Structure 1
Amino acid sequence: MGIIKLNNIRVYAHHGCLTEEGKIGSDYRIDLQIEANLAASAKSDELSDTVDYVHLNKIVKEEMAVRSKLLEHVAQRILDRSLQEIQQIEKATVEVSKLNPPLGGDVENVTIVLSKQQ
C-alpha cells in the first residue's frame, strides 16, 4: 500500500450559502490524499501502473468550478469522482478549506475533511 498526496491545490471558486459568495467568490485550498497499491509502478516505472496525479488535480479543479452551498458537498463530489474514475484508488481523503471565510472575525480558514473507501 502506498500514499499519494496533492497538497495545497489553490483555486478561486464561488461556494457558500450567501448570495454574495456566489457572486464574489473566494480563495480555496484543497489537499487530497489517496491510498493505492503502488507496488507495480514502483517496479515498472510506468505511469499506466499508478495513479496519475494530473488526473486527480483535474478532478479537483473541475469539481471546485461547480458551485455548492456547502464544502461538504464539493468534497464528496471530489471523492466520488476520484474513486469512480481511477480504479487503483482504495481510499481517498480530501480537505477543502475556505480561506478568510466571511464569519465576522479574524479566521484564517474553515476546513472540511471527508474520507471514502472502495
Structure 2
Amino acid sequence: MDIIKLKNIRTFSYHGCLVEESKIGSDYTVDLQIKADLKRSMQTDELEDTVDYVHLNKIVTEEMAIRSKLLEHVAKRIVNRVLKEIPAVMNVIVDVSKINPPIGGDVQSVTIQIEENR
C-alpha cells in the first residue's frame, strides 16, 4: 500500500460543547493520511488512476464546516466520507486538532486521532 498525506489543513470552525464555541469559533488543523494502491498512477501519470488529494481536501473542509460538539464526531464523518466516496482508499487516519482549547490551562492543542480500514 502507498500513502498520501495532507498535513496541517487549517480551518476556522464552530465545534465544541460550550455555547460560546458555537458563536465565536476557533482555529483547527486536520491531518489526513490514506493508504491506497498507487502503482497504476505511477505508470500512467493520469489523475483518474490515483486518489485525488483535491477531493480529500474538499471532504475535510466541508465536514469541518458542519458544527459538532465533539471532535470525535467530525473526525468520524471525515473518515466515513473518504471511504464512501473514494473506493481505492483502503485505510484512513485522521487527526483533528483544536488550537488553544478552552480547558483552563496553557495547552497548545487537543487532538483526536481515528483510524479505519476498509
Task: Give TM-score scaled by structure 1 length.
Answer: 0.99
User: Match for residue 28 of structure 1?
Assistant: 28
Q: Please state how far the C-alpha of 1:56 moved relative to its aligned partner.
A: 0.3
User: Match for residue 115 of structure 1?
Assistant: 115
Query: Which ranges in structure 2 are unaligned for 5 or more consecutive residues?
Result: none
The amino acid of 1:84's aligned partner reads K
Query: Which ranges in structure 1 are unaligned for 5 or more consecutive residues?
Result: none
User: Match for residue 44 of structure 1?
Assistant: 44
User: Match for residue 95 of structure 1?
Assistant: 95
Residue identity over aligned pairs, in percent, reads: 64
User: Match for residue 79 of structure 1?
Assistant: 79
The amino acid of 1:108's aligned partner reads Q
CA–CA separation in structure 2 for the residues paired with 1:11 and 1:41: 30
User: Match for residue 11 of structure 2?
Assistant: 11
Q: Please state how far the C-alpha of 1:104 moved relative to its aligned partner.
A: 1.0
The amino acid of 1:41's aligned partner reads S
Number of residue pairs matched by the alignment:
118
Runs of 4+ in 1 over 3 A off after TM superposition: none
Q: State the SS of the aligned residue for 2:115.
A: strand
Task: Give TM-score scaled by structure 2 length.
Answer: 0.99
